[in-house]
Amino acid sequence: MYDIIIKGGVIVDGSGSPPFKSDIGIKDSIIAKIKDLSNEKAEMIIDAKGLYISPGFIDIHNHSDISIIDLPTADNYVLQGVTTLVIGNCGSSPAPLTDLNKKEFEKIVKKDYPEIEVRWESFREYLDVVREKRPIINIAPLVGHGTLRSAVIGYENRKASEKELEEMKRLLEESLREGAFGMSTGLIYVPSMFGDTNELIELMKTAAKYDGIYTTHMRNEGVGLIDSVIEAIRIGVEAGVSVEISHLKASGRPAWGKVDTALQLIKEYSSRGYDVSADAYPYTASSTSLVTLLPREFREGSREDILKRLRQPGALEILRERLGESLLEERYLSWSDIMISYSPSHKDLEGLRI
């Protein structure tokens, strides 16, 4: 006697084997049998004729760190067959927090989730808050490198001192012990972008002790794509960790042919025994904050620091000139390529191209 029998579906088991038709018997929330169960009984029988059955999908690049607290039923994912979310991507995670980064993080949370109180600092405390909500979906959280850096250095554009690097390593190790699966970088975002390759290697050597993965939003996804892929692989090789390159693409027409070379590099190092992989999304657009278009010298500090810098006499004139150079040289974009998709304070601009 089974609790549930799923009858007559076509099973795609995720192993790479061809799909096959069979019944599935479930008992005590575990798949007990995959075979013809025509003569068996169950508390519930689900007719899956004409349907496909697969294991739950893993969304390996997700940003539901706070929304999972707001909506623990995760309807938008469950209805798509997603049962596991890898969160804390692109160098940003909800923890660890210190006096240097907590207020800034609270502002970000309050903007979209005014009812959520940030009542945690450590990774364990954050996960305790998530567990209290009893989410219906699994999560695999990463520690954001940008969060580590802001917790120790703030948002300054400079190299970490030896003491600061040791403190970042301590916080990373603590977070890994408390449930993190690895570390992510967002190397186009403040303050992760201020960390050099050696800093990342040293941090990932710490993560290696816990079999932590390195996931990366690379420094450049345009004309500098190949150098960025090489940096990601180098970090994995020298630290001895698995590498996941986030949303691999070649942005801007002059970079389009570089994807083949990037994939060849990944395959080459994989064939040597290194664990290097990449994910991609199936559309020809990307989404991020407009602040990433600002030249590096305008981006140091918090949101308030950036706005203060933009208000200085002559700043806008310099910015107009530098932005033109930045778009042309680094991303090969034109203003008509950029659409405002979300601006709560300027709703009239949403859906318009700059």
153 domain-assigned: yes
| Model pLDDT, residue 329 | 62
Distance CA 201, CA 108 (A): 29
In this predicted model, what pLDDT tens digit does every residue of 125-149 receive, in sequence order? 999 999 999 999 999 999 999 999 9
Q: Can you tell me the mean pLDDT for 287-310? A: 85
295 domain-assigned: no
Distance CA 126, CA 94 (A): 7
Distance CA 132, CA 244 (A): 30
Check whether residue 263 and residue 334 sit in a common domain. Answer: no
| Model pLDDT, residue 336 | 83
Distance CA 298, CA 193 (A): 13
Cβ–Cβ < 8 Å for 216, 184: yes
Provide the number of structural domains found in the chain: 3
Distance CA 227, CA 241 (A): 19
Task: Give the CA-trace dihedral at 92, 281, 221, 291, to 10 degrees.
Answer: -50
Find, among 57, 37, 55, 56, the residue nearest to 46 by Cα.
37
Domain range for 209 is 57-278
| Model pLDDT, residue 303 | 82
State the DSSP H helix or E strand holding residue 23, giving kind and residue range, or none if neither. Answer: strand 20-27
CATH number, position 80: 3.20.20.140
pLDDT higher than 90, residue 294: no
Cβ–Cβ < 8 Å for 239, 214: yes
Residues 6 or more apart whose CB falls under 8 angstroms from that of 65 comprise 87, 88, 92, 93, 94, 141
Check whether residue 86 and residue 194 sit in a common domain. Answer: yes
* Orientation angle between helical segments 197-208 and 162-177, nearest 10 degrees: 40
Confidence of residue 277 (pLDDT cuts 50, 70, 90): very high
pLDDT higher than 80, residue 57: yes
In this predicted model, what pLDDT tens digit does every residue of 24-51 receive, in sequence order? 999 999 999 999 999 999 999 999 999 9
Other CB atoms within 10 A of residue 192 CB: 25
| DSSP label of 339 | B
Cβ–Cβ < 8 Å for 204, 239: yes
Check whether residue 62 and residue 199 sit in a common domain. Answer: yes
122 domain-assigned: yes
Distance CA 324, CA 340 (A): 18
Return the CA Rg of the chain: 23
Find, among 218, 223, 247, the residue nearest to 145 by Cα.
218
pLDDT higher than 80, residue 328: no
| Model pLDDT, residue 266 | 98
Least confident of 111-115, 230-234, 294-298, 346-350: 294-298
Check whether residue 41 and residue 64 sit in a common domain. Answer: no
Distances (CA, A) of 204 to 77, 162, 164, 209, 248: 30, 16, 15, 9, 21
* Average predicted confidence (pLDDT) for the chain: 94
Residue percentage of the chain with pLDDT more than 90: 78
Sign for the CA dihedral angle at 147, 150, 152, 156 comes to positive
| Model pLDDT, residue 184 | 99
State the DSSP H helix or E strand holding residue 30, giving kind and residue range, or none if neither. Answer: strand 30-35
By CB atoms closer than 10 A (0-12, 13-18, 19+), residue 299 is buried
Residue percentage of the chain with pLDDT more than 70: 98
- SS3 per-residue string spanning 295-333: CHHHCCCCHHHHHHHHCCCCHHHHHHHHHHHHHHHHHCC
307 domain-assigned: no
Q: Can you tell me the mean pLDDT for 218-243? A: 97
CATH number, position 16: 2.30.40.10
Check whether residue 209 and residue 82 sit in a common domain. Answer: yes
278 vs 223, higher pLDDT:
278
In this predicted model, what pLDDT tens digit does every residue of 188-223 receive, in sequence order? 999 999 999 999 999 999 999 999 999 999 999 998
Check whether residue 231 and residue 268 sit in a common domain. Answer: yes
Residues 6 or more apart whose CB falls under 8 angstroms from that of 24 comprise 5, 6, 9, 11, 31, 33, 34, 37, 53
| Model pLDDT, residue 95 | 98
Cβ–Cβ < 8 Å for 60, 279: yes
Check whether residue 115 and residue 252 sit in a common domain. Answer: yes
Distance CA 243, CA 61 (A): 13
Query: Of 19, 34, 53, which residue constitutes the final position of a domain?
Result: 53
Decide: pTM greater than 0.95.
Answer: no
288 domain-assigned: no
